[in-house]
Amino acid sequence: MPNGGVFRFLFLISLFTLSLSSIPKYDNIFLPIHLHNDDSLSSSASSCPAPNPNLNYKPVIGILTHPRDGASGRLSNATDASNIPASYIKFAESGGARVIPLIYNEPTEKLLKKLDLVNGVIFVGGWAKQGLYLETVERILKIAFQRNDAGEHFPIYGISLGFELITIIISEDNNILDKYNARNQASTLQFVENADIEGSIFQSFPPDLIKKLSTECIVTQNHHFGISPEKLQGNEKLSNFWEILTISTDENNQVYVSTVRSRKYPVTGFQWHPQKNAFEWGSASIPHTENAIRVTQSAAGFLVSEARKSTNRPNDQEVRDNLIYNFKPTYGGKAGKGYDEVYIFE
């Protein structure tokens, strides 16, 4: 080897040796082989706490279908069709649950049997406020109250229309809602004075995200109806049932109740849509920022954490026979509007 090559070789060796000497030493880090050879370390490092036997680590959420195909007849014209936007299903799954569809117009006996398989329910958004749909929501809601009164923790999420229907049912007034202009709107959530978030959905939100809810438009509103704080508080039945957590304003600067929780039951009402930020893309107004996605994740996590408290342990095979995995979604977002994916039941 020429002298120049020898020199370069020795120079590289010296650099390599120097770099090795500069690597910090972590004497307290042990590889698995070290733990295997050291019984004192192995016994403590490999022990994991046993799962809490009082919690259900296989929670199942029932989601009630909504009439028609969710796409103004573009996907199905069947008069008995009903649907669940896939965003609600992904929402529940992202929190760590599986989903069973509750088909609103199926025989009552079949619907009730499915309710025995779930640990909580989501009432979705939409437009149906009367007839069989309202009756089905009321039936499920009463069963949820009965199960909670009997000692089972059984959570309900009423989202947009779902919240409106619970409000109609509790007030026993089909005209309790007022019109608002909050169609396809990103907004903030303003916490009411002295709002107690302990034990509410917002308890699961990181503190920095709680602050951003009131300063950044990171929730999605999409509704024509709602209820004002004054009207809710002025109705004895509603004020006894709901505790207001947040309010929001529509395009005309009219104030409405945006988040509530039941004073007695694990029931949360949203006028906004926690599922849309991460899983819907058809509207330009849906926020997809990192903080908006964290809103979806935190809301999903709270729902499933509540469902884990359910003492109901249904038969595994019956659950599998009824899971949403037995159905296929339809891609409805190709037109660039409406839901991206929807499950249609006929």
Which residues form the catalytic set?
273
User: 131-149 vs 108-115: helix axis angle to the nearest 10?
Assistant: 40
Report strand pairing: 242-249 vs 255-262. antiparallel
Strands across the sheet with 60-64, in order?
A: 98-102, 60-64, 121-123, 156-159, 267-270, 255-262, 242-249, 190-191
Calculate ∠ Cα 89-93-99, nearest 5°: 55
Length of the chain: 346
**Cβ atoms within 10 A of the Cβ of 241, count?**
22
Closest by CA position to 117, among listed 312, 311, 306, 308: 312
Closest by CA position to 79, among listed 68, 70, 88, 94: 68
Contacts of residue 93, defined as CB under 8 A and 6 or more positions apart, other chains included, come to: 99
